[in-house]
Structure 1
Amino acid sequence: MSTAPTPLAWRLGLFGLVAGLTATASFGSASLGPRGQAVCGLGAFLALAAGCSQNLRNVNARTIVTGILLQFLLAYSVLHVEWVKTGFEWVGGGIKKLVECSDKGAEFVFGDLAKVRGPLTNEVGAVLGGPGAFVTQQRNTGAIPFHFAFRALPPIIFISSFFSVLYYFGVLQLLVKLFARVMMYLMGTSGAETLSVSANVFMGQTEAPLIVKPFVPKMTQSELLALMASGMAHISGGMMAVYISYGADPVSILCTCVMACPCSLYLTKLVLPETETPETMGNATVVVPKVHANAIDAAAGGVKDGLMLALNVAAMLIGFLAFIALFDVILGSIKPTLIGVGLSADRLEWIPDKLSLQMIFGWLFAPVAVLIGVDPDDSRRVGTLLGIKLAANEHVAYLTLKDWTAHDPLGERSRLLAVYALTGFANFSSIGIQLGGIGAMAENRRGDLARLGMKALFIGYLATLVNAAVAGLLMAPPTTSP
């Protein structure tokens, strides 16, 4: 009789490891230091993925090991290799210029509502000797307040149009194919899944699969999960522009999006190992459907797509912020209601007077924040952001971070790691978005998409945490004043 542990025994052991590493990081942060916390976090996140694996015996070790090494290589290059960092700063500066160009169009249409007057002062963190994760923007005199609809949404429209033109000329496809070939040969993954994962660096979770649309109906379960999980681990080019308009450092956003490619892919192969033979194994063919007559038509089509995305963003924010306000009203009324029905206030001291959803998220996700290397003093607030991102979306979390940056900022390191962890579409609403978008490409896979939705959300969310932990490990620890 075999004495090998059963899958349940493996799961229990791995989950026990997760609990142990979390406790070590939470209670031993003073002795571990921020890099020690991040090491515990990486171990905990990978153990959690392995514990949720459908079949650990079928995991391809080459895919996991090379994926982790590639992720570390990308992160180290961006953070510490000067010419790579300079290249990312150049690309980030280009995105900033595109946002400024979109401002011109917005100012023409909306006038003063799209303007922010007064000289701009940037408070930039000095972590890594480079740009901070989030830039505090303040106007000294004659300030006009930041109007979300007129300042944050127009860049979505313009960036969508710009990327549509690049797609028409084949520029995006070339970049995607080059990156996909490297990952495919190093990690041993199929062409279709690797191409779609690479495309997510530039495109959204329902646009990137268009590059492999003919292959989606015949994808294996593992390939389909990689397609979905990668979409949740990234953000689109239009969303990059929005977060930059909030003051987020573009280099940090670009870095985490690039890291998310190998990370989401190897986490998928850890949770759901490949047991079938993919149709595109060893072949990375980019499919370019001709949907526009010329560059002008492509630009116009991009504007239309961007408008729909901007309206969707605005509608989602209205709905989710309203629900958060409703939950806060309900939670805040719990203690007064209990006192009103006769319970002693002394017996209810453990309930905060102003209980809120943010407070609950802070309690629940504070250990997760510690695991990515956040300063323990900031862990509850970063945990709040992580909870908001999952329950609502990353947009609401970014708006919260933007408000804190202006009034009660986090520490520089915590702010940077929060940006890494928030940059991704991993939230519950994305399951429905993917079911509608990807399902339209392959009606025969709707059932599979629905069944894999929660796994994709789990992997996408975990990938953003792993990205943050890798950055937390490679980032120079904060200096303390003598």
Structure 2
Amino acid sequence: MKYLIAIIGLLVVFGLAYIASNGKKQIRYRPLAVMVVLQIILAYALLNTEVGTWLIGGFSTIFKNLLDYANVGISFVFGGLTLVQDANGGFPFFLNVLMPIVVISALIGILQYIRILPFVIKYIGLVLSKINGMGKLESYNAVASAILGQSEVFISVKKQIGLLPKHRLYTLCASAMSTVSMSIVGAYMMMIDPKYVVTALVLNLFGGFIIASIVNPYRVTEEEDILEVREEEKQSFFEMLGEYILDGFKVAIVVAAMLIGFVALIALINGIFSAVIGISFQELLGYVFAPFAFIMGVPWKEAIQAGSIMATKMVSNEFVAMLDLGKQTALSARTTGIVSVFLVSFANFSSIGIIAGAVKGLHEKQGNVVARFGLKLLYGASLVSVLSAIITGLFL
């Protein structure tokens, strides 16, 4: 039965992408088929094989060790507060989940400085361009987005931003919204099972190309297919390190501020809806998103709860939704896994402003172009998350 639902889910996702396509006759189906098959193979390998278990275990161990090292610095500054449980038996979220972003950001800066990350990003991107049938720039950008983040990635292609036509700019922005930055992966792993974080990272990379190839199909000529990455201004090691540490701290503060605002506002709206119509706002959204949860492989009896968490992610952000998922004790392991994969992306309304602002900071005219197709970006990125969740459901 789950295979039949998965097939229906895939047809729905591709159908919704096709409806929104701005060039139906230009869609190339062979690269799409290859990438879907690759998604299925990779999901099976990661979730159902010893090699996949070993890879995920190694990846999560690396981040666990990084978090342990981060806690040394956090405990030094905050006097061991991270070891104190709150009244609900939990640990301070800001200190234990968000502060380690500072250390991971610093590590990314070091890997950038010694030229390891640029090398990895460039050549993985070149390999992907042979698979997805897109340009080198699009493939580079997708890999860079998954490491650097949805706003920082545009700095590395600053030289080409002003020269890009609307359709190529859409693909770059869609990749940025469909992935997550490596600096916050550790935070996700403290909230949901690491194997679902890793699975989502891999599937979303290909899913972004798949949906963009349907919604926004085009061909890149050899003359256009030039990858010109901006070299960072030469800094001393400690200048760079200080900059990345501060950047990581800014990310943690921004996420904390958004969580305070969104969690409080959602609680307020839930209270108003419950008082007026007898049902909370999140429960109401759960009914709207329940059909999508069902085609992802969630049993119908759990679809409303799952749909509520999915909706929370879209109207607020993935952190708020992950917190809600962690409070759910009635959901099955299968549903938790499927929803977890759905949550690992930047596909939410606030990301439209973040991406448009990042591009506008580099090129005002192109930033306005991004703002105009912002809702279509969110539409495509959400389909990427649904697609990754459907593929995951096949192996749970």
Q: TM-score range by the shorter chain?
A: over 0.9
1:442-481 correspondence runs (5 A): 442-473=363-394, 475-476=395-396
Q: Which residue, out of 319, 327, 333, partners 2:261?
A: 319
Decide whether the 8 Å contact of 2:160 with 2:228 is kept in 1: no
Alignment match, 1:389: 313
Structure 1 runs of 4+ aligned residues shifted over 4 Å read 275-280, 283-286
1:365-380 correspondence runs (5 A): 365-380=289-304
1:281-340 C-alpha deviation (Å, 9 max, x unpaired)? 2x555443235322x3322211100111111101111111122122112212214xxxxx
Alignment match, 1:44: 12
1:195, distance to aligned residue in structure 2 (A): 0.4
1:417-444 C-alpha deviation (Å, 9 max, x unpaired)? 1110000011111111111112212223
- In 2, the alpha carbon distance for the partners of 1:270 and 1:279 equals 23
Q: Which residue, out of 187, 202, 205, partners 2:147?
A: 202
Alignment match, 2:95: 150
Decide whether the 8 Å contact of 2:178 with 2:346 is kept in 1: yes
Is 2:200 the counterpart of 1:290? Answer: no
1:214-254 C-alpha deviation (Å, 9 max, x unpaired)? 112112222211111111111112221112222x2223212
Structure number with bigger Rg: 1
Aligned length: 396
Letter in 2 for 1:372: M
Decide whether the 8 Å contact of 1:192 with 1:280 is kept in 2: no
- In 2, the alpha carbon distance for the partners of 1:164 and 1:143 equals 36
Decide whether the 8 Å contact of 2:149 with 2:180 is kept in 1: yes
Alignment match, 1:56: 24
Is 2:273 the counterpart of 1:273? Answer: no
Alignment match, 1:303: 245
1:196, distance to aligned residue in structure 2 (A): 0.6
Alignment match, 2:334: 413
Distance of aligned partners of 1:197 and 1:254 in 2 relative to their CA distance in 1, 3 Å threshold: same
Decide whether the 8 Å contact of 2:111 with 2:117 is kept in 1: yes
1:74, distance to aligned residue in structure 2 (A): 2.5
When structure 1 is superposed on structure 2, of 59-68 and 459-468 the one drifting more is 59-68
Decide whether the 8 Å contact of 1:67 with 1:266 is kept in 2: yes
- In 2, the alpha carbon distance for the partners of 1:89 and 1:409 equals 27
- In 2, the alpha carbon distance for the partners of 1:291 and 1:433 equals 27
Q: Matched residue of 1:290: which SS?
A: coil
Letter in 2 for 1:459: G
Letter in 1 for 2:240: A
Letter in 2 for 1:156: I
1:27-64 C-alpha deviation (Å, 9 max, x unpaired)? xxxxx2x3322221111111110111112011122332
Decide whether the 8 Å contact of 1:181 with 1:284 is kept in 2: no
Letter in 1 for 2:33: V
Question: TM-score if structure 2 supplies the norm length?
Answer: 0.94
- In 2, the alpha carbon distance for the partners of 1:409 and 1:243 equals 21
Decide whether the 8 Å contact of 1:218 with 1:279 is kept in 2: no
RMSD across aligned positions (CA): 2.1
When structure 1 is superposed on structure 2, of 458-467 and 254-263 the one drifting more is 254-263
Alignment match, 1:251: 195
Distance of aligned partners of 1:214 and 1:66 in 2 relative to their CA distance in 1, 3 Å threshold: farther
Q: Which residue, out of 41, 46, 51, partners 1:73?
A: 41
1:175, distance to aligned residue in structure 2 (A): 2.0
1:177-216 correspondence runs (5 A): 177-216=122-161
Decide whether the 8 Å contact of 1:389 with 1:427 is kept in 2: yes
Decide whether the 8 Å contact of 1:375 with 1:413 is kept in 2: no
Decide whether the 8 Å contact of 2:347 with 2:381 is kept in 1: yes
Q: Matched residue of 2:391: which SS?
A: helix
Distance of aligned partners of 1:445 and 1:285 in 2 relative to their CA distance in 1, 3 Å threshold: closer
Letter in 2 for 1:443: E
Alignment match, 1:170: 115
- In 1, the alpha carbon distance for the partners of 2:24 and 2:164 equals 21
Unpaired runs of 5+ in structure 2?
none
1:89, distance to aligned residue in structure 2 (A): 2.1
Letter in 1 for 2:310: L
Decide whether the 8 Å contact of 2:289 with 2:308 is kept in 1: yes
